[in-house]
Amino acid sequence: MSTSGRPSVLEVGGMTCDDCARHVTAALEAAGAEGVSVAWRTGEARFSWPEGVTEDALRAEVEAAGYRPGVLRLLGTGLPKQAAEGGFDYDLVVLGAGSAAFAAAIRATEAGYSVALVEQGTLGGTCVNVGCVPSKALLRAGELAWAAGHHPFAGLSTRSGPVDLQALVAQKDELVGRLRQMKYADLVDDYGFTVIPGHGRFAGPDLLEVDGRRVSARVYLVATGASPAAPSVPGLAEAGYLTSTSALELTEVPKRLVVIGANAIGLELGQFFLHLGTEVSFVEVAGRIAPFEEPEVSEALASVLTGQGARIHTDAQVLGVRRGKDHLDVTVRVGARELDLLADEVLVATGRRPNTGGLGLEKAGVGLDGRGALVVDDELRTANPRIYGAGDVTGAPQFVYVSAYEGALAVDNSLLGAGRKVDLTGLPRVTFTAPQIAGAGLTEAQALDAGYEVETSLLPLAAVPRALVNHDTAGLVKLVAEAGTGRLLGASVLAEGAGDVIQSAVLAIRHGITTAELAATFHPYLTMAEALKLASQTFTRDVERLSCCAA
């Protein structure tokens, strides 16, 4: 982008295609704008506005081209003075090539900046390669296998036979490869940024080396993600164990599986193997599974899992793991008792560690916290004003949509001077068990810790018509509201499709909607989404005494 004028952005209405973007580009250039970059999907034109070019001239040319000029904003560079001067190889260099990195690259190239991604592994990062996409593909298969042998409907004769896990994994791998190509590799050419293969390491506060090659940039973004972490357990490393990555590559169904850690990843993968016929034992150091969710959710899901045959050990400490001739022996202390759990495989799902090792961050003046995560401020800037961080490497909530959000925000702040702060109000979370756990905003305990006076409602799925017709009432909805105002602070759902249901609560929390207002909105009958309306009505009414669809 040219720096002879003031970086600016003009909202433009009426654009529907690439030709529209070209027409608007030509119009702005005719008016005297420089370095024009137009994104018709977002309705924005970014350019350098030279002295002597009037706003009226810019607007007139856009109108003459048949489009609607809107708000015109001046942008700062977001860069220290010394970084805004001199020559650089790129405007932005990103370490990593996952969701945060690609969001940043797309935002920056659309604004007219030159971008390079440095990646020593596979394009796409965790989500598409070893996280969301492959795991959810397998989880769905597991759900169908279980449902085939355990449906609740009279008159239907179905059964679930042996599972060819090798075929399932091959299908999963094909899907991963296709999405990696479509959603990552193809976009490199579409947007025109560069991918530099190799390991990036800072050689100083303003210089990066990639396998010995020096690469300079106005701004650097660290978006290297996180990797599975294992606890220090005697014998675990020697005995061998599965992580969330290697568990997705098994081609034979284990007969017995011990899962260490019963939060989202452990619960999802543990139930997947449970659905395929594995004997599964969950071992959790906290007092309940899903320890960061509402206690009512934990209790209800534990009942589902034990009903499907799982064994659950909470308040449990793993003392050691030993490999025998044909099995693994996992010694666990639960209270005053010691248990020996036999397994064919052990899955460790106790969290993920930020990928900050070997980046030379100490030479760049960038700090790490006690967990090894990049320390950033609320604008994603590190202690070095030329270096920003985004996604899992910062210790942010480890969701792909948070990483993408932060990647784009880092560009807005570093290159465009937007001064935006990270805002995770109403952030949704989903655990893809069956039934799903979904939540948004604050739990009751979190709201109390934050100083709110609260009131809550608890609605069992037995009060939800959709659950009744499904013959599946294992679940609940819990809402947390601010006492007095009724403003919704948090929502938790344990139900089929909970991840879809929670989106209404996300909007309600983010925009300060009250439970009374939520109860007054239309919710289609015989959908699980109606559970939010019923739970909202529960604050003031006995929903068991209402007719179907009663307002």
Q: Which domains does the chain have, with CATH numbers?
A: 6-74 (3.30.70.100), 90-139+166-227+353-414 (3.50.50.60), 236-349 (3.50.50.60), 428-545 (3.30.390.30)
525 is catalytic: no
User: Considering 15, 184, 388, 405, which one is annotated as catalytic?
Assistant: 15
| Digit-coded pLDDT (tens) for 62-107 | 999 999 998 787 766 566 545 555 589 999 999 999 999 999 999 9
Catalytic residue among 127, 241, 388, 528: 127
* pTM of the complete model beyond 0.85: yes
**Range in 63-72, 131-140, 385-394, 508-517 the model is least confident about:** 63-72
pLDDT of 22 over the 70 cut: yes
Average pLDDT over residues 161-181: 96
Of 67, 90, 113, 184, the catalytic one is 67
Summarised one tens digit per residue, pLDDT across range 230-282 is 999 999 999 999 999 999 999 999 999 999 999 999 999 999 999 999 999 99
Q: Compute CA distances 480 → 234, 288, 299, whole Å.
A: 42, 21, 18
- pLDDT confidence bin for 109, thresholds 50/70/90: very high
Q: What is the pLDDT of residue 2?
A: 39
pLDDT of residue 6: 75
Give me the pLDDT at residue 84, please. 52
Tokens standing for residue 33: 């704008």
Tens of pLDDT, residues 28-57: 999 999 999 999 888 889 888 888 899 999
Q: Of the given ranges (49-58, 259-268, 390-399, 445-454), which has the lowest mean pLDDT? A: 49-58
Confidence at residue 1, expressed as pLDDT on a 0 to 100 scale: 41
Quote the pLDDT of residue 3.
45
Give the DSSP H/E element, type plus range, for residue 301. Answer: helix 295-307
Instruction: Tell me the DSSP string of 302-353.
Output: HHHHHHTT-EEE-SEEEEEEEE-SSSEEEEEEETTEEEEEEESEEEE-S-EE
User: What average pLDDT does range 415-434 have in this prediction?
Assistant: 94
Residue 184 bears catalytic tag: no
119 has a pLDDT exceeding 90: yes
Q: Is 124 helix (H, G, I), strand (E, B) or coil?
A: coil
In the residue annotation, 182 being an active-site residue is answered as no
Top-confidence residue, 527 or 76: 527
388 is catalytic: no
The answer to which of 76-80, 460-464, 500-504 has the lowest mean pLDDT is 76-80
For this structure, is 191 an active site residue? Answer: no
Q: Considering 20, 113, 220, 388, which one is annotated as catalytic? A: 20
Q: Who's near 483: CB < 8 A, 6+ residues apart? A: 452, 453, 454, 455
pLDDT for res 87: 80
Q: Which pLDDT band, with edges at 50, 70 and 90, does 171 fall under?
A: very high
The distance in angstroms from the start CA to the end CA of the chain is: 56
* SS3 assignment for 449-511: HCCCCEEEEEEEHHHCHHHHHHCCCCCEEEEEEECCCCEEEEEEEEECCHHHHHHHHHHHHHC
546 vs 303, higher pLDDT: 303
- CB distance 258 to 283 below 8 Å: yes
Sign of the dihedral through C-alpha 308, 309, 314, 318 = negative
pLDDT in tens, 199-234: 999 999 999 999 999 999 999 999 999 999 999 999
Per-residue pLDDT averaged across 286-292, rounded? 98
48-to-84, 163, 193, 198 alpha-carbon distances in Å: 14, 60, 20, 34
3-state helix, strand, coil in the chain (%, to 5): 35, 25, 40
511-536: average pLDDT: 96
Whether 113 is catalytic is no
Share of the chain above pLDDT 90, in %: 87
